[in-house]
Chains A and B, each alone.
Chain A
Amino acid sequence: MTPGQLDIEDLLADESFINYCKRTSQRDSTYWESYIQDHPYHAAVVEQARNRFIELFNVLCVADMEEQEALLKNRLAATVPAPVISIKKQESQFFGLMKVWIQVQYFYKKKLK
């Protein structure tokens, strides 16, 4: 690559560059560090590309987390026969007490029979 021809997309599409960004390969890190030293006129674009990678990674993290959390909430709502769970605490206490009361009533009725 000659000066002026290096752009962010080329860098991010390069496997070793991502390894350098993620610090997953000592060899690639060393390579890119010395590359910056040898090509100081590319230091800025390398830095930009690295920032864009972190941003892209974070954006994908947030989006996936939101999707997965929504899925978990749906599953919780679908498997919610347990009486203790309720959206509001006051309600849950109320229904909890009601349930105990009903059970006690039921128990005594059964006992009487």
Chain B
Amino acid sequence: MHHENDEILWKGLMEGDQDMFLALYRKYYHSLLFIGLREIKDAHLVKDAIQQQFLYLWEKRNSIQPAKNVKAYLVTSFLRKLTADWKRAEKTDNLQVAWNNTAEMPLLTPEESLIWKDEQQQLCRLLMDHVNALPARQKELIILRFYEGLSYEEIVQRTNLTHRTVYNKIHEALKKLKLELEPAKEKERLSFGFGMSLLWTALLFFYGWQ
């Protein structure tokens, strides 16, 4: 499901296939988000620009051209849009802006760990429950720090909290996420992975016979 070909998705979009359109959105959402956050440390603005770009694509689906390089097209037009949005916002509001001229910044992408994501869905659901159970302020800080990737200094500027308070709240929140697994559970997870690979080998073996 996550390896759809860009050309097929783009063609689907041009033909007005909303599922294909949403698949294209899901495929590029995080790439665009993290590229955007590298330029502008305001997730709200970046996310809105992504929404606007895709709404625009959907509205213009009857007149858009076949794209030779979908990713390049999406990234370029998105950055153009984001820059325009930022300039407009700057006039009305003093946003925390950090123009970053370092070209590369390797980052974990969700795709990188999709394989284990399937294996550990239950664990992830539990973790998300813990995140959602956090007090609003702590949840916000966890998202800023671990998802949007703001540094402590940037969080201090954004929230007007002291460095110490931010650190303490994040530390407290991390405790509540119950990240410390008992050795038994850690083992369980390993044996689960082992079980999965056994299953996989069995399947390969089975189909090998056919």
Contacts and interface: CB of A to CB of B under 8 A. Distances in A.
Is chain B found bound to chain A in the same assembly? yes
B124 A59 contact: yes
Interface residues of A, number: 41
Interface in A42-80: 48-49, 52-65, 68-69, 71-73, 75-76, 79
B194 to A, nearest CB: 16
Interface residues of B, number: 47
* A22, A49, A61, A63 pick with most chain B CB within 10 angstroms: A61
A36 interface: no
A55 B124 CA distance: 7
B30 A65 contact: yes
Contact of A58 (B16, B110, B180): B110
A20 to B, nearest CB: 12
A68 B30 CA distance: 11
Contacts of A13: 167, 170-171, 174
> Chain B's interface: helix, strand, loop or mixed, by majority?
helix
B123 A55 contact: yes
Contacts of A92: 16
Nearest to A75: B55
Contacts of B33: 64
Nearest to B170: A13
B108 interface: yes
Contacts of B29: 65, 68-69
Interface in B113-128: 113, 117, 120, 123-124, 127-128
Interface of A: 7-10, 12-13, 15, 18, 21-24, 48-49, 52-65, 68-69, 71-73, 75-76, 79, 82, 84-85, 87, 92
Return the 3 tightest CB-CB contacts between A and B, nearest first. A60-B147, A9-B174, A52-B179
